[in-house]
Amino acid sequence: MRIHSKLVTVALSAGLALAIATPASAAVTLVSVTVTGGVLSLSAPVGSVNLGSRANTVGGGTLSGPLGEVQVTDARSAAAGAGWIVSVISTALTPTSGPTIGAALIGYTVGSITQVGTATYTANNPANLTGVLPAITATAISGDNSATWNPTINVAIPGGIAAGIYTGSITHSLI
């Protein structure tokens, strides 16, 4: 009797599996989602950044310091070959009184670039910031990407310049 009971159980299990595998009717629903392209954005330090100090000398010298993290995020899902350019410009550095340190004496070095996604990044490292000049260029983009860097600002301090705090603005733009 026990063998007959096991055979009936196996037969019923096989029949149930067959009934589940081949339904009498089925409904198929096609599901879709839409992912839209995002935006191209730039973030850079806001507020004051102290690049450091240097003792005044007759011959002048150079003062270099980090500006702070700059980042471009490109979520446009760009087609292969799309790109972008970050440009930079500076005002003269002015003291409370006396001559200024002109933008021709201010340079920008990109440094290392942390990248996410597929793109080719080129650091242009403008030697002076007298006009809107490219700092970094992204080409050969495929899909979403981002680049982050912490540029070094180089200020050539003229010899014999008056002691004081010199301030100015550095502006990044993205196209």
The HSE-up count of residue 92 (CA atoms within 13 Å, CB side) is 8
Domain-embedded: residue 6: no
Count of helix runs (H) and strand runs (E) in the chain: 1, 9
Domain-embedded: residue 71: yes
Domain-embedded: residue 3: no
Range of the domain at 107: 37-174
In the chain the first and final C-alpha atoms are separated, in Å, by 84
This prediction's pTM: 0.78
Element (H, E) at 10: helix 2-21
Is residue 94 predicted with pLDDT exceeding 90?
yes
Per the structure, the count of domains in the chain is: 1
Domain-embedded: residue 42: yes
Domain-embedded: residue 43: yes
Is residue 20 predicted with pLDDT exceeding 60?
no
Nearest CA among 63, 45, 56 for reference residue 106 = 63
105-141 residue pLDDT tens: 999 999 999 999 989 999 999 999 999 999 999 998 8
- Give whole-number Cα distances, 2 to 5, 13, 15, 153, in Å: 5, 17, 20, 89
Domain-embedded: residue 163: yes
Domain-embedded: residue 101: yes
Four-CA torsion 127, 132, 134, 139, nearest 10 degrees: -170
Question: What is the pLDDT, as a whole number, of residue 22?
Answer: 59
Using only C-alpha atoms, what is the Rg of the chain? Answer: 32
Is residue 58 predicted with pLDDT exceeding 60?
yes
As a whole number of angstroms, the distance between CA 117 and CA 148 comes to 12
What would the two tokens of residue 53 be? 């100090």
Contact 113, 121 (CB under 8 A): yes
| CATH number of the CATH domain containing 167 | 2.60.40
Domain-embedded: residue 111: yes
